[in-house]
Amino acid sequence: MPLLKPRKKTREISVGNVKIGGNAPVAVQSMITAFTEDSKAAIAQIKELSAAGCEIVRVAVPGMDAAHSIKKIKKEINIPLIADIHFDYKLAIASAEAGADGLRINPGNIGEKKKIKAVADCARDRGIPIRIGVNAGSLDKTIAEKMGATPQAMVKSGMNNIRLLEDLDFHNIKISLKASDVERTVEAYRLMSSKTDIPLHLGVTEAGGIYSGIAKSSIGMGMLLAEGIGDTMRVSLTRNPVEEVRAAWEILRALKIRKRGPELISCPTCGRCRIDLFTIAEQVEKALLTCSATIKVAVMGCIVNGPGEAKEADIGIAGGDGMGILFKKGKFIKKVKQDMLVDVLLNEIKTMTE
Amino acid sequence: MPLLKPRKKTREISVGNVKIGGNAPVAVQSMITAFTEDSKAAIAQIKELSAAGCEIVRVAVPGMDAAHSIKKIKKEINIPLIADIHFDYKLAIASAEAGADGLRINPGNIGEKKKIKAVADCARDRGIPIRIGVNAGSLDKTIAEKMGATPQAMVKSGMNNIRLLEDLDFHNIKISLKASDVERTVEAYRLMSSKTDIPLHLGVTEAGGIYSGIAKSSIGMGMLLAEGIGDTMRVSLTRNPVEEVRAAWEILRALKIRKRGPELISCPTCGRCRIDLFTIAEQVEKALLTCSATIKVAVMGCIVNGPGEAKEADIGIAGGDGMGILFKKGKFIKKVKQDMLVDVLLNEIKTMTE
């Protein structure tokens, strides 16, 4: 049984110049934590996220200031931007007019039909898609009371929201069905995938810190992606969103679906280890968070066996007593003082990849 | 389709007082990085790992000093200890005589039949199991040359090693089949699980740093555990092994297989967030790494909505401008100065859980 089942066929939509669904690669998304109304801070964070491999960025639009700020932001960034709106259809329209490449809003929460129609018309005019974002923690009251916050209820809520748009002949849609636990998340996406060809935005919500967040997201999205389900993804962590992007790429890489950025190889420490490998590996890992080159980097504990064991690495360091070495493809390049090892490695990578 | 398939039935073995396989819970293992011959350092690290939820600890035995040190170590620790040996049967026998609760050695690497027999006899006399540890990176040469480092080759190597012990009427065995990538690891375990009822020790080897390591381990072991495969597990990270243990528990928790330690809830930051939630959440997460109580802890960005949104949390903090609050089960307990919030929370948790 192969690890990956064939990808479930969905309809293709476009968020700016990024295609979602169909045969398009699974796109990596994240969301800024800077205030959208602070365009300078937002632009800086979006550039950092883009450098880390974020392909679509979402920004919160809690008020008109934020909606108007999108215009300034869009001028300075190179990836599509999605405006995240709750309830207020005027914010959705203002965001679209300011140049947002997509809207995240639940039509079921907008209110009167004519308001929903105004949003759909505006999105249609501009050719931008709407993401319906179902969240187990905030289901429509009538559904939640009748069915509980179950996967079935999540899908029902999603289908209701889809119908509101499709009744207006609006089909440029993607949908997410997030719960805070793996079980409901996986079941909801499986069920939705069996019912529709609308592209699916994967995510586990409120996933938490780095251990639980990466574990939950990896298991949940990993299972779904292995089953061929999912067209775009966001890992949610209560951390710098650059780390969300990194985690998303690690999930795609682990499943051999897509590849980006450096792969870090490091030996388990052993009795021959003569450097503080944990700290060095952590420093290197952190420094390479925003590196996009697909190189293999080795951090090894011993100059005797390190270079040979890591000969598949494009570049690596190995520690000694006071002196370490730099190597490439298993071959010795030069001796380096221990306390300069990390700097020398990072500089060398910079030279190789720029 | 339920998330978890029924657990595959394996034969039950015992490592000290910890049962593996059969109906026993999936046991969490780790390995010390301290030198085994430095008994003081080894004991300190094992105690730290045990506090973090490590249920079986492995120590490297590269020489006789290390084997003899096991006697001292065993007197001071409360969890079973497995001696990790390469090639030298004398080290295996010395480790068993020093009180090791299990051996990790590949009989195929020991050499002459009578040496293998000596190890098996010694293990049988003491009632301790042997783990066969197949690693895709170090397969028997004849198999690797004929078959490549494939899952099929890994299973073949495993079966050969099993036969060497079973021919000596030794059946107190468990086996691991680790590769550095998810695909081969998952395929090897699936195949082995279809061929034998020997308990399986799960792991992805050289998984790397925190992002790739947790992602690979979560996807690989998560898929297997969800399929009912796996009786004990180790997450490998080039990090402090306490973090391996934490990651293993997060995998088990995410699949609702077992539960241990605090669950951290924290809101995604938003426009109302008045504290540096990332740093605070990270501090709390780190401080609770070795906490064993199964409490829910919330770290929220806003005193208005935080307590209500996190009312399922046993205890939590929410940040304000300069002043934050402590709450329990959604109810206000007291105001706390911002810079004391984390300390007050951790102290309160200590009081609640001791």
Query: Which positions in chain B touch A271 (Cβ < 8 Å)?
Result: 35, 60, 62, 66
Query: Which positions in chain A touch B254 (Cβ < 8 Å)?
Result: 181-182, 212, 215-216, 219-220
Which residue, B189, B224, B254, sits at the end of a domain?
A: B254
Q: Are A165 and A120 in contact (CB under 8 A)?
A: yes
Single out the residue of B106, B108, B76 nearest to residue B92, CA to CA.
B106
pLDDT of residue A2: 86
Q: What's the distance, CA B82 to chain centroid?
A: 13
The length of chain B, given as a count of residues = 354
Amino acid at A56: I
Single out the residue of A195, A102, A208, A111 nearest to residue A154, CA to CA.
A195
Non-local (6+) Cβ contacts of B245 within 8 A are B28, B30, B49, B52, B53, B54, B235
Residues B175 and B212 in one domain: yes
Query: Which positions in chain B touch A84 (Cβ < 8 Å)?
Result: none
Is B3 inside a domain boundary? no
Q: pLDDT by residue (tens digit) across A226-260?
A: 999 999 999 999 888 999 999 999 999 999 999 99
Residues A171 and A239 in one domain: yes
pLDDT of residue A128: 98
In degrees and rounded to multiples of 5, residue A30 shows phi and psi of: -155, 180
Which residue, A199, A229, A254, sits at the end of a domain?
A: A254
Is B1 inside a domain boundary? no
CA-to-CA separations, B87 to A151, B117, B154, B157, B208, in angstroms, rounded: 52, 14, 18, 16, 26
Give the span between the Cα atoms of A212 and B263, in whole angstroms: 8
Query: Which positions in chain A touch B270 (Cβ < 8 Å)?
Result: 60, 62
Mean pLDDT, rounded, of chain A? 93
For chain B, percent of residues with pLDDT exceeding 90: 74
Non-local (6+) Cβ contacts of B199 within 8 A are B10, B11, B12, B13, B20, B21, B22, B174, B175, B231, B232
CATH of the domain at B299: 3.30.413.10
Answer yes or no: do A212 and B250 touch at CB < 8 A.
yes
Which residue, A232, A254, A276, sits at the end of a domain?
A: A254
Give the residue on B whose Cα is nearest the Cα of A84.
B270
| Best mutation target, B212, B263, B276, to test chain A (most A CBs within 10 A) | B212
Q: Using CB atoms, pick whichever of B223, B255, B269 lies closest to residue A33.
A: B269
| Best mutation target, B29, B250, B295, to test chain A (most A CBs within 10 A) | B250
Residues B245 and B271 in one domain: no
Answer yes or no: do B187 and A282 touch at CB < 8 A.
no
Residues B234 and B299 in one domain: no
pLDDT of residue B333: 94
CA A278, A282, A288, A289 dihedral sign is positive
Confidence grade of residue A353 (pLDDT, cut at 50, 70, 90): confident
Is A5 inside a domain boundary? no
Single out the residue of B174, B178, B170 nearest to residue B82, CA to CA.
B174
Single out the residue of A26, A15, A23 nearest to residue A58, CA to CA.
A15
Residues A250 and A269 in one domain: no
Give the span between the Cα atoms of A174 and A227, in whole angstroms: 19
Q: Is A102 helix (H, G, I), strand (E, B) or coil?
A: strand
Q: Is B5 helix (H, G, I), strand (E, B) or coil?
A: coil
Strand partners, A173: A130
Residues A56 and A167 in one domain: yes
Give the residue on A whose Cα is nearest the Cα of B205.
A268
Give the span between the Cα atoms of A340 and A352, in whole angstroms: 18
Residues B305 and B329 in one domain: yes
Spell out the long-range contacts of A139-148 with Cβ–Cβ below 8 A and sequence spacing 24 or more.
Answer: A140/A108
Q: How many CB pairs under 8 A join A and B?
A: 176
DSSP state of B253: H
The predicted model gives A279-292 an average pLDDT of 87
- A165 min Cα distance to partner chain B (Å): 28
Question: pTM value?
Answer: 0.93
Is A8 inside a domain boundary? no
- B345 min Cα distance to partner chain A (Å): 17
In degrees and rounded to multiples of 5, residue A260 shows phi and psi of: -160, 140
CA B189, B192, B196, B198 dihedral sign is negative
Q: pLDDT by residue (tens digit) across A52-101?
A: 999 999 999 999 999 999 999 999 999 999 999 999 999 999 999 999 99
For B278-310, b where at least 16 C-beta lie within 10 A, e where not — what string? bebbbbbbebbbbbeeebebbbbbbbeebbebb
The predicted model gives A138-143 an average pLDDT of 88
Answer yes or no: do B206 and A267 touch at CB < 8 A.
yes
**Would you say residue B273 has pLDDT above 70?**
no
Residues B124 and B22 in one domain: yes
Answer yes or no: do A256 and B183 touch at CB < 8 A.
yes
Query: Among A237-246, B44-53, B163-172, which is the least confidently predicted range?
Result: A237-246
CA-to-CA separations, B122 to A147, B98, B103, B116, B162, in angstroms, rounded: 60, 12, 11, 10, 17
Q: Are B70 and B37 in contact (CB under 8 A)?
A: no
The predicted model gives A174-190 an average pLDDT of 95
* B190: its two tokens: 């699936």
CA angle, residues B90, B95, B97, in degrees to nearest 5:
95
Answer yes or no: do B238 and A208 touch at CB < 8 A.
no
Give the residue on A whose Cα is nearest the Cα of B242.
A211
Query: Which positions in chain A touch B214 (Cβ < 8 Å)?
Result: 210-211, 214-215, 218
Give the span between the Cα atoms of B203 and B180, in whole angstroms: 9
Confidence grade of residue A269 (pLDDT, cut at 50, 70, 90): low
Query: Which positions in chain A touch B247 (Cβ < 8 Å)?
Result: 211, 215
The predicted model gives B289-318 an average pLDDT of 85
Give the span between the Cα atoms of B7 and B227, in whole angstroms: 7
CA atoms within 13 A on the CB side of B233: 29
pLDDT of residue A268: 65
Q: Using CB atoms, pick whichever of A240, A254, A299 lies closest to residue B219.
A: A254
Q: pLDDT by residue (tens digit) across B151-165?
A: 999 999 999 999 999
Give the span between the Cα atoms of B335 and B339, in whole angstroms: 12
Residues A211 and A276 in one domain: no
Residues A182 and A228 in one domain: yes
Residues A207 and A139 in one domain: yes
Answer yes or no: do A182 and B209 touch at CB < 8 A.
no
CA angle, residues A304, A308, A310, in degrees to nearest 5:
115
For chain A, percent of residues with pLDDT exceeding 70: 98
Residue A335: domain span: 263-353
In degrees and rounded to multiples of 5, residue A282 shows phi and psi of: -65, -45
Residues B146 and B180 in one domain: yes
The predicted model gives B191-196 an average pLDDT of 98
**Would you say residue B9 has pLDDT above 90?**
yes
**Would you say residue B271 has pLDDT above 60?**
no
Is B332 inside a domain boundary? yes
Q: pLDDT by residue (tens digit) across A7-17?
A: 999 999 999 99
pLDDT of residue A312: 82
Tokens 């070795």 belong to: B290
Q: pLDDT by residue (tens digit) across B331-350?
A: 999 999 988 999 999 999 99
- B300 min Cα distance to partner chain A (Å): 10
Answer yes or no: do A285 and B210 touch at CB < 8 A.
yes
Q: Give chain A's domain count.
A: 2
Is A228 inside a domain boundary? yes
For chain B, percent of residues with pLDDT exceeding 70: 98
Is B140 inside a domain boundary? yes
| Best mutation target, A184, A212, A216, A277, to test chain B (most B CBs within 10 A) | A212
**Would you say residue B325 has pLDDT above 80?**
yes
Query: Which positions in chain A touch B258 (Cβ < 8 Å)?
Result: none
CATH of the domain at A183: 3.20.20.20
Query: Which positions in chain B touch A151 (Cβ < 8 Å)?
Result: none
